[in-house]
Amino acid sequence: MQTSWVPFFPDSASSFSWQVDWLYFYLILVSVVFTIPIIVAIFIFGLKYRERQKFAVPEGIHGSVVLETVWSIIPFLVSMTIFVGGAYVYYNQYRLPDDGMEIYVVGKQWMWKIQHESGQREINELHVPVDTNIKLTMTTEDAIHSFFVPAFRTKMDAVPGRYTYMWFNATKPGKYQLFCAEYCGLNHSGMIGYVYVMSREDFAAWQSGNVSGQTPTEQGRDLFENKLGCASCHAGGPQQRGAKLEGIFGHEVKLTGGGTVVADEAYIRESILNPGAKVVEGFQPIMPTFKGQVTEEQLLALIAYIKSLSGVTTPAGSSPSGGSSPTTPAANSTAANAANSGKAGQPEAKPSAPGGNSKVK
């Protein structure tokens, strides 16, 4: 696992990890270049200007424009290179690719629950194909957690009540450590796992070998049509009491009382948990809240379903094809999936479906 040429340095295994490393080494270089001459000068000046006679009168200095200009411009240029380098790395890391394979991550004291668009669920393990843009949509059921994969040089907090995103493109097949990097309670240090980067063939084999339950979209449809009864108001032609959901994702929605909002994950989440917050123009604020009735995973599933109504689909499992021999990481995951179905697979709270009357914004 340790293949880096610097001792104790994590492996470098994502498309942007070298950029972070170069910036890091550059900062060290700048620090060394400034620190060494200063320390040397302390000793030289200490000897050269040591006290030779008591009460000596120092020579007056009346400034030097050249010197002052030089010591202003050089640090300015150095700090600007740090700024430009940092901005470049930041921009690369936090601007999401359009074609990312979507994976949902829910943090919970003290585990990472992961769901693939193709339905597979994992705990504290994440299997991804190599050379593929992976986009994680994350939230948490309780405290703030932070998803950190040192080998990919990326980290993002999972924050209660909102969605955060991160992406990476793993460049080397292998097994990489995954940490929670935000103190989140007693077993924070145990909230660790592995990311398995597999060749596309191996990943396809892993997917087909880990037959999944419902995909998030299917689970969302099931909740929507059956378990939560959303469909009684939100589906069914022009007379429906609830706002139209088809085709809204990623587009602007007009609100009662003026104003618009872009229908993104955060908006859909808010509309389920706090329906009165932003009521769509032309509808009454009659939808009941579903707070406490849906888990974070169910919310993600509902969002996946509503996205699918807008034709927002992700390549997910569909793209990598061709089967071949499963690898060791694949074998490992079976245990996780088994544990999974018992623990996090299904909702903790049984949603009580509200009757088909009233409601909806």
Binding residues vs ligand CUA (CB under 6 A): 107, 110, 145, 180, 182-184, 188, 191
Chain-centroid distance of CA 361 in Å reads 30
Contact 13, 172 (CB under 8 A): yes
3-state secondary structure at position 264: coil
In angstroms, give the least distance from the CB of 159 to ligand CUA.
12
167: preceding bond cis by omega (within 30 degrees): no
In angstroms, give the least distance from the CB of 158 to ligand CUA.
8
* Nearest residue to 215 (alpha-carbon basis) of 135, 305, 332: 305
Which two tokens mark 75?
Answer: 């640090």
Nearer to ligand CUA, 90 or 183 (CB): 183
Nearer to ligand CUA, 108 or 278 (CB): 108
Nearer to ligand CUA, 108 or 116 (CB): 108
* Rounded Cα–Cα distance for residues 107 and 89 (Å): 26
DSSP per residue over 268-287, as a string?
Answer: HHHHHH-TTSSPBTT--S-P
* Rounded Cα–Cα distance for residues 313 and 215 (Å): 12
* Nearest residue to 293 (alpha-carbon basis) of 267, 274, 318: 274
In angstroms, give the least distance from the CB of 140 to ligand CUA.
8
In angstroms, give the least distance from the CB of 139 to ligand CUA.
13
CA dihedral sign, ordered 198, 200, 205, 209? positive
Nearer to ligand CUA, 107 or 129 (CB): 107
In angstroms, give the least distance from the CB of 182 to ligand CUA.
5
Nearer to ligand CUA, 178 or 306 (CB): 178
Tell me which DSSP letter residue 14 carries: B
In angstroms, give the least distance from the CB of 184 to ligand CUA.
3
Nearer to ligand CUA, 137 or 219 (CB): 137
Q: How far is CA 360 from CA 192, 243, 268, 299, 307, in A?
A: 41, 7, 13, 17, 19
